[in-house]
Structure 1
Amino acid sequence: MAALKLDSKRLALSLKKEFDSTYGSAWHCIVGTSFGSYVIHSLGGFLYFSIDKMYVLLFKTVVDPLEQ
């Protein structure tokens, strides 16, 4: 079971980095076999799919610059 968690974390990090690089920053990724979620996402910035019994949720949020 511990190996599955480690693989899930690695996959989530890899997907997040790839999506940030390709489609701009502020992507978030959740990978696992069972989870619930409630997220606010940018228009066109939501993916949910499964590979065998592993589920992947990717979503992008809007990042507003901090006022100085």
Structure 2
Amino acid sequence: MDMNSRGTGMNKQICDMDEHGDYKDDALSIAAEAIEKHLTEREQSKHIKQFFDNKHGPTWHVIVGSDFKAHVTHEAKTFFFFYVGKTAICLYKAG
């Protein structure tokens, strides 16, 4: 699924997701915001994690980068793997 980010001009591409409700909308919008506000992937992942922990309860995990592989165990309906522009993001809840 290819989506154009509202107002950011960055394309969003969902690669794998087991949830399609409010989490999805939050993930796509907060990721675009993090990429616009922060230069480093570490700061971007921290921004996304803090948002999800505060809004949806702990414990969320975030991986941000241009090239990585991941195999994770996660709670049902809380796994997201998507791109914002050329930046890949893996977001999931475990614990």
Task: Using structure 2 for the length normalisation, give the TM-score.
Answer: 0.58
1:54 corresponding residue in structure 2: 87
Percentage of identical aligned residues: 32
Query: Structure 1: which 5+ runs fail to align?
Result: 1-5, 63-68
Structure 1 runs, 4 residues or longer, greater than 4 Å off: none
Shift of 1:57: 0.5
Separation (CA, whole Å) in 1 of partners of 2:84 and 2:91? 14
1:34 corresponding residue in structure 2: 67
Aligned letter for 1:16?
K
Query: Structure 2: which 5+ runs fail to align?
Result: 1-38
Separation (CA, whole Å) in 2 of partners of 1:7 and 1:49? 18
In the alignment, structure 1 residue 23 sits paired with structure 2 residue 56:
yes
Shift of 1:52: 1.1
Tell which structure's C-alpha radius of gyration is larger. Answer: 1
Match of 1:14 among 41, 44, 47: 47
Task: Using structure 1 for the length normalisation, give the TM-score.
Answer: 0.79
CA-atom RMSD in angstroms: 1.0
Separation (CA, whole Å) in 2 of partners of 1:34 and 1:57? 11
Q: Tell me, what secondary structure is at the counterpart of 1:35? A: coil
- The superposition leaves residues 8-66 of structure 1 with CA deviations (integer Å, 9 ceiling, x where unpaired) of 1111000000000111101000000000111000001111110111000000013xxxx
How many matched pairs? 57
